[in-house]
Amino acid sequence: MGKIVAQKVAQKLNYDLISREVLLDASSRFNVPEMKLEKAIHDAPGILERYRHGKQSYVAYIRSALVERVIGGNVVYHGLAGHLLLKGIPHVLKVRINADLERRVAIVMERDKIPAPDARARIMEDDKQRRKWTQSLYDQDPWDTSLYDLTICIDKLSVENAVDFISQAAGTEGFKSSEKSIQKAKDMSVACRVKASLVEEFPNISVTCEYGNVLIYIKGKDQVTGKLSKKLDHIRESINDIHHLETHAGLEPPPDAV
């Protein structure tokens, strides 16, 4: 029920609604097939992918595209992992829509014209993949309610009820944008763009940005000084809003690093 709720919230607030557009943006910007990005945001990493670092690159591309989309505010995003990819932007309201399994089965049966056992198996597999994805990349359980600001079980509520709750929450003081929170979003955008530029060749890096001051954290064992220096020169020239850029090898990145 999340998609219809998101659509109606966007209509009620007169906000832009985005979902698949983020994958299209990332696909165009980073020259990666959309299908690969979709699998990266949905499927749990396989053993080989963990060694190739492919999924980390694709997720970095998607995150960069998503942050670019929401940086101006007044956006409803409906899609996987938004609560994790936008973590750290204070005025983002993170909502989870939940429903009883049997209700979900009934919806999938009607939507896809399949019998109950097939619908139930499809839902269970989707949930399994999403859980593995979150645990493997973020070491967190997507069922953890602390990841969300608002969790709505829609079984006894109508879609309109859920829309009202979300719209009211979005208008509360805690989620109003401020100069500080907008700057935080802009800094995250810069950090995400820097990471997206580096992650394919340097999958173990983490990046922070504060008022245009970019710090790149590299694992101590990585011997990438010369190669990285050339990439950093290109980044300084190609990414706006960077005032200062430096690297730190062997230091643990802060929790807000991307």
Let me know if residue 257 belongs to a domain.
Answer: no
Compute the distance between CA of residue 32 and CA of residue 140 in angstroms, rounded to an integer.
27
Whole-number pLDDT of residue 48: 42
Whole-number pLDDT of residue 46: 58
Among 175, 209, 236, give the residue marking a domain's end. Answer: 175
Let me know if residue 256 belongs to a domain.
Answer: no
Q: Which amino acid is at 141?
A: D
Mean pLDDT by 10 residues, the chain (258 residues): 89 90 80 76 56 70 88 86 85 89 86 90 84 72 82 87 94 90 91 89 87 84 64 81 82 82
The two structure tokens encoding residue 56: 């980390």
pTM score: 0.79
Q: In 10 A of CB 207, how many CB atoms?
A: 25
Among 175, 207, 224, give the residue marking a domain's end. Answer: 175
* 204 and 165 inside one domain: no
Whole-number pLDDT of residue 51: 43
* 100 and 195 inside one domain: no
* 202 and 167 inside one domain: no
For residue 105, the domain's CATH number is 3.40.50.300
Distances (CA, A) of 106 to 1, 7, 112, 115, 129: 12, 21, 10, 9, 21
For residue 195, the domain's CATH number is 3.30.70.2210
The two structure tokens encoding residue 142: 């997507």
Whole-number pLDDT of residue 52: 47
Enclosing domain of residue 201: 179-249
* Total count of domains within the chain: 2
Whole-number pLDDT of residue 43: 63
Let me know if residue 158 belongs to a domain.
Answer: yes
